[in-house]
Structure 1
Amino acid sequence: MKPTTYAILGQLAFRPWAAYELVKEMRRNFHYFYPRAESGLYAELKKLDQLGLARSESQTKGKKDRLVYTITEEGRKVLRDWLSTEPSSFHLEFDGLLRLFLSRFGGPGVVQNALKKTRLDSEELLGIAQKVGTEYLTGIAPAQSEIVLRACVFDFLVHYALLYKDWAINTENYLVRAGQLKEEDSIELAKDSIRTTMKKFGM
């Protein structure tokens, strides 16, 4: 099964969801740390229904009919079995870092554009975090009952955003300084940067 399958089952384990509301909630929850869970959501819901892991029921809300999905006991078992397995190793996929890595083969502005986009993305995430954090502190978050575990996710994502933001700012300053030096001096600057990082983290 795909990661999307388990992510959907996890959301349904909390409570029944209308398809549209479930998709909206999953994009809110998983976008920044498990974006693969956002792909093919409607098709996956239908598949879960066909497999007997969830069941759908047509309900009327106002003048519209909507499909509401509920997890089945078999769905809970599949989710429980998956949660008992060992997690996959974490990995990083960062387009801006790839562009910096290959920037010598591009035109002017490649690095600056990558760093600017990284800063903007990190600031967007921090803005969302401020809103979400306020919701939990005031008791109005959609998953308020999950605050004990969600605080851990919140802490990770804020640190993640700050890591990207600080890296982008520091990298920009470092490259400006390196660009003002002779080649041999810029090499020494790079070595000093590596030494400083290794010392900082006890390597």
Structure 2
Amino acid sequence: MWSTVVRLPTVGRLLNNTAILVLGMVAAGQRNGYEIQHTVERSTRHFWTASPGGIYPELRRLEQAGLLRSTDDPRGAARRLSYELTSDGSAALRDWLADEHDALFEMRHEDLLRLFFASELAIDDQLRILERIALAHERKAHDLESVTAPWIPDDAPESKRLVLDYGIALHRSAAAWCRQAATRLAP
């Protein structure tokens, strides 16, 4: 997960990861917290997630900051707000998209941590860890291909397909690495 707080020159405000995600989702057409959360679950959760407990307060904070504007959405029985970007919100998103700072990439993988300390185990147990990692990456690649890929509409921007392809390639490569690493451990 990236841990970034970006100061955007055009608005002079700090935006955290959830704020950037929310601005991007609103720009892409998700107009309320439910739509944002539903889209996150089908798309960005594979590399950048946000909980409902983070999305809804962020919508309100961004509106107070003048980056979003809300209107009452009459659909359904419950009161719902629909959001759109303001001109400052659009500028903030464009500034973030154009920002060329090195983004922090932090990977946390519990089974890799196990493998790191696995010299305490027998070789067969170490091989089981590698097999578990390989199977998890194969499942993730399959999930991206069978669940996420069909969700992307035919007329979606190519950038969305590129991110999907990256995820599939990353997980397939990790699974292949596990298989190769197992040959190094095997007696």
Specify the TM-score bucket, using the shorter chain as the normaliser: 0.7 to 0.9
Whether 1:67 aligns to 2:77 is no
| Matching of residues 175-190 of structure 1 within 5 Å | 175-176=185-186, 180=187
Is the CA contact 2:72–2:82 (under 8 Å) kept in the aligned structure 1?
A: yes
| Equivalent residue for 1:119, pick from 130, 134, 137 | 134
| Matching of residues 102-181 of structure 1 within 5 Å | 102-105=117-120, 111-112=126-127, 114-132=129-147, 135=150, 141=151, 143-176=153-186, 180=187
RMSD (Å) for aligned C-alpha atoms = 2.7
Q: Give the aligned residue type for 1:127.
A: H
Query: CA 1:55–1:100 in structure 2 vs 1: closer, same or farther (change >3 Å)?
Result: same
Query: CA 1:174–1:14 in structure 2 vs 1: closer, same or farther (change >3 Å)?
Result: same
Query: CA 1:64–1:108 in structure 2 vs 1: closer, same or farther (change >3 Å)?
Result: farther
| Whole-Å separation in 2 of the counterparts to 1:67 and 1:85 | 30
Structure whose residues are more often helix by fraction = 1
SS in 1 for 2:99: coil
| Matching of residues 2-151 of structure 1 within 5 Å | 2-35=16-49, 38-39=50-51, 40-89=54-103, 91-95=105-109, 96-105=111-120, 111-112=126-127, 114-132=129-147, 135=150, 141=151, 143-151=153-161
Question: Relative contact order, CA 8 A, sep 6+: which one is greater?
Answer: 2
| Whole-Å separation in 1 of the counterparts to 2:46 and 2:149 | 18
| Whole-Å separation in 2 of the counterparts to 1:18 and 1:153 | 24
| Whole-Å separation in 1 of the counterparts to 2:129 and 2:69 | 44
Instruction: Flag the structure with larger Rg.
Output: 1
| Whole-Å separation in 2 of the counterparts to 1:112 and 1:68 | 51
Is the CA contact 1:100–1:110 (under 8 Å) kept in the aligned structure 2?
A: no
SS in 2 for 1:31: helix
Equivalenced residue count is 170
| Whole-Å separation in 2 of the counterparts to 1:166 and 1:144 | 30
Structure 1 gaps, min length 5: 136-140, 181-203
Q: Give the aligned residue type for 2:159.
A: L
Q: Give the aligned residue type for 2:174.
A: Y
The percent identity for this pair of structures is: 26
Offset, 1:3? 1.8
Structure 2 gaps, min length 5: 1-14
Give the alignment's TM-score, normalised by structure 1.
0.70
Offset, 1:2? 1.0
| Whole-Å separation in 1 of the counterparts to 2:76 and 2:103 | 46
Offset, 1:71? 1.4
Query: CA 1:120–1:24 in structure 2 vs 1: closer, same or farther (change >3 Å)?
Result: farther
| Whole-Å separation in 2 of the counterparts to 1:162 and 1:119 | 9
Query: CA 1:142–1:58 in structure 2 vs 1: closer, same or farther (change >3 Å)?
Result: farther
| Whole-Å separation in 1 of the counterparts to 2:104 and 2:97 | 16
